Structure 1
Amino acid sequence: MRVVTFGYQTWGYRTLQALIDSDHEVVLSVTHPASEHAYKSLWSDSVEDLAKGNDIDVHITERVDRETIDKVAAAAPDVIVVNSWYTWMPAELYNLPPHGTLNLHDSLLPKFAGFSPVLWAVISGHTHTGLTVHRMDEELDAGDILVQRSIEIRPTDTAPALVEMTMDLIPDVLKEALAELEAGTATWTPQDPAERTFFHKRSESDSLIDWRLPAEDLERFVRALADPYPNAYTFYRGQRLRIVDAAVAKVRYGGTAGRVFVREGDGMAVVVGPDSFRGHNLGLLIKKVRTDDDTVHVATDFLARGGFFASTVDRSQR
């Protein structure tokens, strides 16, 4: 089949590569221009470079405009395949090919529609994530499902590792989806709106630690924001501090949430959780921290003086 791709970053790159390696013909690749934005510079394999290196026509644009639609129409695709496209696509475009438009979304839809689904899945304590191929329609990530694969989220998995795992699924799910379309055997499963969860874009402030949460939630939060993502952060003695490695403590600690308390094993225990003054909550064990000069410190050394972690720089002066 003749395929047009819309994609960006490593997700778009892996999708284009899978199609290049397939029996299908990529007749046009549409991508966004390179960006220095903090998030967009992560997972930054270039769709443009891959397309040009394989003599595929490339169209670079921030958003779909009249020129984009005309270029796609001229390419006469049988199907459009989308993975990691940041701006709105009109019905005139996604309904243009005979087989419509397939979107690849790295969650088990209808759960975790929207943005940063793998990170939110780890943060929320979900047990599985995965990859879904669905039909694009007027509502974001809500179209009928064609193919879906699941990945277990294990207790030590980081979000970046899971992102890699979901991207590894791209060739197989695309092969299956396109084969079914071509053979006329595609079975579409409508999403249940009652099961849908939709998550917003993440910003810097979303990585600020709330020490009133339970230790289990905070451990997942740190693990979700593992390198290369900007790590979960707090404030300590007047400076921002990123938490690189943490675990749930073995001991229950009481007092004020955010109090850097005592050494436990290879980390420093912090009082955390709701009603922390009651002493019912397991602490969070901080093992490694990163200062804004990008230096990673062993927590038992850096936090040896104790004190408070805080949610604002003012309180961190305590």
Structure 2
Amino acid sequence: MRVVMFGYQTWGHRTLQALLDSEHDVVLVVTHPRSEHAYEKIWSDSVADLAEQHGIPVAIRNRPDDEELLSLLKEADPDIIVANNWRTWIPPHVYGLPRHGTLNIHDSLLPKYAGFSPLIWALINGEPEVGVTAHMMDEVLDAGDIVDQRAVPVGPHDTATDLFHKTVDLIAPVTVGALGRIAAGDTDFTPQDRTQATFFHKRAEEDIRIDWNWPAEDLERLVRAQSAPYPSAFTHHRGERLEILAATVSEGRYGGTPGRIFYREGDGVVIVAGADARTGRNHGLAVTRVRTHDGRELPALEYFTSMGGYLTARP
């Protein structure tokens, strides 16, 4: 099939590489300009560079809604558009232009975790598995019929970076598998159960600020979700920003006020956590490694030289 690819960052790069390695013919690539957004500088393999290395025409757009691009798409005469990590709305006159429509590749197990940063949100929420879905694009974002979907388990110590590497390897088989069904004339795809749909926004500074009213189990997953190279989860100590780089759920149960710097346990310092911490039924978050406001990384036992005081959401 003649394919136009819409994509960005490493997800788009992997999709384009899968298409180049397949029997299909990539006739045009559309990608975004480089971004300085903190999350978009991560996993930033260039789709444009890969396309140009293979002599494929490239159009760079923030939004795919201009007449010049529409003319290029019509000239390319695609059988299908394949999109992965395209960051803005694709209008119906674009996604409906090819003979077989548009196939979107999304890094979640749809209908759950539509939208943005699905791996991070899924890890924070304790999902047992994550994955990649290929679905037909329609007027609702990430809501079209599922053509192919594959999952991988989330391990007890996995970080968001681990999950990225697990799921990015699914892009090629999901993409090529879905295109194989479409090329063979199969249209018996699986409608999404919209009663199970969840939609998440882009992550920002406020989303990595630690709320000590959260249970320790949730905070431990937040720390893993914000593992390097993502921005680290942070709190404040004595008015200064303090990033939490590593932590575990405490073995003991600790009562008191959320955010209290309470007790040395093993290699960590336990911070009281949970909205109902006053009951004494909660585990705390045993912080093991931190980064100070001036960039120093050190074990929590070295940073917290005495117990007492509080970690707070704001200075």
Q: Work out the CA distance in 1 between the residues paired with 2:112 and 2:36.
A: 30
Name 2:51's counterpart in structure 1. Answer: 51
Name 1:22's counterpart in structure 2. Answer: 22
Code of the aligned partner of 2:313? S
Segments of structure 2 that go 5 or more residues without pairing to the other structure are: none
**Conserved? CA contact 2:239–2:314, under 8 Å:** no
**Conserved? CA contact 1:33–1:60, under 8 Å:** yes
**Conserved? CA contact 1:177–1:186, under 8 Å:** no
Q: Work out the CA distance in 1 between the residues paired with 2:296 and 2:62.
A: 35
Q: CA deviation at 1:66?
A: 1.7
Matches within 5 A, 1:44-193: 44-64=44-64, 65-193=66-194
Task: Give the alignment's Cα RMSD to 1 decimal.
Answer: 1.0
The alignment partner of 2:310 has SS state of strand
The alignment partner of 2:112 has SS state of coil
**Conserved? CA contact 1:91–1:138, under 8 Å:** yes
Q: CA deviation at 1:275?
A: 1.8
Code of the aligned partner of 2:281? H
Code of the aligned partner of 1:102? L
Q: Work out the CA distance in 2 between the residues paired with 1:216 and 1:93.
A: 44
The alignment partner of 1:146 has SS state of strand
TM-score by length of 1: 0.96
Segments of structure 1 that go 5 or more residues without pairing to the other structure are: 314-318
Q: CA deviation at 1:88?
A: 1.1
Name 1:316's counterpart in structure 2. Answer: none
1:132-173 per-residue CA deviation (whole Å, 9 max, x = no partner) reads: 000001100000110000111111111111112111011111
Name 1:310's counterpart in structure 2. Answer: 312
Q: Work out the CA distance in 1 between the residues paired with 2:35 and 2:234.
A: 25
TM-score by length of 2: 0.97
Name 1:226's counterpart in structure 2. Answer: 227
**Conserved? CA contact 2:236–2:312, under 8 Å:** yes
Q: CA deviation at 1:55?
A: 0.7
Q: CA deviation at 1:187?
A: 2.4
Matches within 5 A, 1:239-278: 239-278=240-279
Code of the aligned partner of 1:311? A
Q: How many residues align?
A: 313
Q: Work out the CA distance in 2 between the residues paired with 1:58 and 1:207.
A: 35
Q: Work out the CA distance in 1 between the residues paired with 2:277 and 2:182.
A: 56
**Conserved? CA contact 1:110–1:193, under 8 Å:** yes
The alignment partner of 1:254 has SS state of coil
Q: CA deviation at 1:303?
A: 1.4
**Conserved? CA contact 2:16–2:47, under 8 Å:** yes
Q: CA deviation at 1:294?
A: 3.1
In the superposition, relative to structure 1, how do residues 257 and 175 fare at CA in structure 2: closer, same or farther (>3 Å)? same
Name 2:41's counterpart in structure 1. Answer: 41
Code of the aligned partner of 2:159? T
Q: Percent identity?
A: 55
Name 1:209's counterpart in structure 2. Answer: 210
Q: Work out the CA distance in 1 between the residues paired with 2:196 and 2:257.
A: 38
